[in-house]
Structure 1
Amino acid sequence: MSKKEGRIREMMTLGVSFDAINIQIPSSILTHPRSFPSPELLLFTSPFENLVSLFGPTAEMDNVGSPSLFPLHRCKTIHLVRHAQGIHNVEGDKNYKAYMSPEYFDAHITQLGWQQVDNLRKHVHSSGLIKKIDVVITSPLLRTIQTAVGVFGGEGYTDRMDVLPLMVANAGNSSRAAISSLDCPPIIAVELCREHLGVHPCDKRRSISEYQCLFPAVDFSLIESDDDSLWKADVRETKEEVAARGMNFMNWLFTRKEKEIAIVTHSGFLFHTLAAFGNDCHPLVKKEISSHFANCELRSMVIADRSMVGSDSPWTNYPGKIPSGIDLPSDAADEKNQEKDAPQS
């Protein structure tokens, strides 16, 4: 075994992470009202994938950015989820014009989509992820809310005067039993993470008052307008506008106190938002970040607040020097001696 291989084995035994990758967002698409640096996105992958870049980069890796280091309290873990299969996905695959049909207004998920929900739910429970998530943010469309409550909600609901269900029985033609709001993270609807706005009726939401009847325990308080004032029948949001909205959403996350956040949203929103990340990474890492999501796919990433948008305290940090004592570092002492011995002009 070579010295290099031995060093790798030693570092892996000590639990050294090889997988934090630097992601830079172009500031030109950031539309936050104040001039902040863009958030940084860190993708955590297999520890084996980046050994080459640490111990002997190839020509293919020469332009890959170096690892990034951020204070832990400036970071959040996000779990990105695309909604389950909707009726518009099925019909749109047969004929793209179906996306223009009013028949698929605010499309609900299919029975196959509910099977996808059940399988993702099993994964988040078996992996222990459900116990880590502090809050679930969902786009306020029927298919995303159905996915959010189905994956992250409680178990079957029993009528109680003091507890509202997350979802009533058969909400959105689901043929599903009611879902409890007990023993699960809160679910909050937010407009910023909606699908590509305009023209397609499947991406238009119904009134919030209608949703509140279907999903009584979902929090809709952050949505200002009961009716959908954002969707326009004759104007389609540009890709650049979707990406800018996505950057605003990322910055908004740092105003939340929660550290681990699940986000249930849409293919177009995810694709155009994440396309801005990973341009200085290995092509395979870039692909892991920004390739299209499958229905009910989940990807976990870390975002870093480089601009102090958030205000989380460094609760794991410890100031040291308790009790106080002399602690002059040796390198500082060397510098002082060098200054002392330097010839005076």
Structure 2
Amino acid sequence: MAAQVHIVRHAESVHNVTKDYTQRDPSLTPLGLQQAAQLIHEFPYSSRVAVIITSPLQRAVETVLAAFPHVLDKRYYSPHSGQGIENGSLLIIDPELQERSAFPCDTGSSREVLEAAFRIDFSDLAEDWHTKEGLYSPDDDPVKERAKRVRSRVAEVMDNLNDMEKRHVVIVTHGVFMKYLVEDPEIDLPKAGWKSYTVGKNSSGIILLPV
């Protein structure tokens, strides 16, 4: 089977329900955790996933951990949880997958907060990754630029995969940013929904082609 990229939208978050966009980096709701956990049974490509790349916003990380405990390496889970597998998939935290807007709900937490919440190494995150300035500005041009950069990095990750049985990559991101990532303003996945792509190339660079 050809290598594929699966774009996953995070599951239901608190601000999706309350419409309170002033809460900083909200977590998933109980329903959101259930939606994410459903992917254990509903996502059909788990055995082929080599790498999962996620936005560092807490709702995205929580979606990953709830959706892929049978795929991810066990180092990302509590040793007493029974979750994760030996020599499981690699998890990459990519700040360029964060949501577009500068509302508090779309503004990430500090490394210290994230490291206290998860058994994940966030040391590669810059101290100012959550400031909505420069590359992380909500303005159109920088959002397009980081989407382009993510596509190029994903292609590079896939080129470096050695296991011919595991050549799929999962990307967990947000409803607005994914429109830029896949260059489709009409895409509107449900919470914890996904869509599959292959990697292609044209005169402007790396593109994602729907399967």
Shared fold (TM-score, shorter chain, > 0.5) = yes
Aligned partner letter, 1:266: H
Task: Kindly report which structure 2 residues correspond to 1:274-289, keeping only aligned pairs within 5 A, or say none.
Answer: 274=182, 276=183
Shift of 1:76: 4.4
Residues 200-241 of structure 1: CA distance to partner in whole angstroms, max 9, x if unpaired? Answer: 11111112233223222x343542x23545325xx9612343
Q: In 2, distance between residues paired with 1:238 and 1:76? A: 32
Percentage of identical aligned residues: 23
Could you give the per-residue CA deviations for residues 91-125 of structure 1, whole angstroms, max 9, x where no partner exists?
A: 12xxxxx21x1xx211100001011012122112x
* Matching residue within 62, 67, 82 for 1:146: 62
Letter in 2 for 1:253: V
Q: For 2:11, what is the secondary structure of its paired residue?
A: coil
Question: Offset at 1:270?
Answer: 0.6
Structure 1 residue runs of 4+, over 4 Å off?
none
Residue in 2 that maps onto 1:79? 6
Query: Rg: which structure is higher?
Result: 1
Instruction: Name the residue aligned to 2:209.
Output: none
The 1:167/1:226 distance shift into structure 2, 3 A limit, reads farther
2:148 paired residue number:
247
**Among candidates 201, 206, 214, match of residue 104 of structure 2:** 201
Letter in 2 for 1:144: A
Go from structure 1 to structure 2 and tell me whether the alpha carbon gap of 1:219 and 1:299 turns closer, same or farther (over 3 Å shift). farther
* TM superposition shift of 1:306: 5.4
- Aligned partner of 1:242: which letter? V
* 2:188 equivalent in structure 1: 292
Question: Paired residue for 2:197?
Answer: 301
- 2:99 corresponds to which letter in structure 1? E
User: Aligned residue for 1:182?
Assistant: 85
CA offset digits 1:266-307 (Å, max 9, x no partner): 001012333x35xxxxxxxxx8xx421110001111012458
Alpha-carbon contact 1:136-1:262 (below 8 Å) kept: yes
SS at 2:181's partner residue? helix
2:28 partner SS? coil
Q: Is contact 1:87-1:110 (8 Å) kept?
A: yes
**Which of residues 160, 171, 176 is equivalent to 1:263?**
171
Matched, 1:122 2:37: no
Change (3 A) 1:179 1:297: farther
Between the aligned partners of 2:91 and 2:101, the Cα distance in structure 1 is 22
CA contact (8 A) 2:39 2:68 kept: no
Q: Evaluate the alpha carbon distance shift between residue 179 and residue 189 of structure 1 in structure 2; reply closer, same or farther with a 3 A threshold.
A: farther
Deviations 1:144-195 (CA, angstroms, capped at 9, x unpaired): 000011111249xxxxxxx64x2459xxxxxxx9463324312111011111
- 5 Å-filtered alignment, 1:130-141, equals 130-141=46-57
CA distance in 2, matches of 1:212, 1:181: 18
Structure 1 stretches lacking a partner, 5+ long = 1-71, 93-97, 156-162, 170-176, 278-286, 311-345
Q: Deviations over 1:57-92 (max 9, x none)?
A: xxxxxxxxxxxxxxx9xx841000000000011112
The 2-side partners of 1:86 and 1:206 are apart by: 15
Three-state SS of the structure 2 residue aligned to 1:181 is: coil
Per chain length, whose mean CA-contact separation is higher, i.e. which structure has more relative contact order (CA < 8 Å, sep 6+)? 2
- Contact kept, 8 Å, 1:190 with 1:222, in 2: the verdict is no
Q: How many residues align?
A: 193
Distance 2:192 2:130 in 1: 28
1:10-40 deviation line (CA, Å, top 9, x unaligned): xxxxxxxxxxxxxxxxxxxxxxxxxxxxxxx
CA contact (8 A) 1:190 1:220 kept: no
Query: Equivalent of 1:109, from 13, 28, 32?
Result: 28
Compared CA separation, residues 114 and 131, structure 1 to 2 (3 A): same
User: Which residue identity is paired with 1:212?
Assistant: E
TM-score, length-scaled by structure 2: 0.78
Structure 2: any 5+ residue segments left out of the alignment?
Answer: 162-166, 207-211
Matched, 1:88 2:15: yes
Counterpart Cα distance in 2 of 1:222 and 1:254: 20
Letter in 1 for 2:188: H
Matching residue's letter, 1:207: S
CA contact (8 A) 2:109 2:130 kept: no
Structure with a larger share of its residues in strand: 2
Structure 1 length as normaliser, TM-score? 0.50
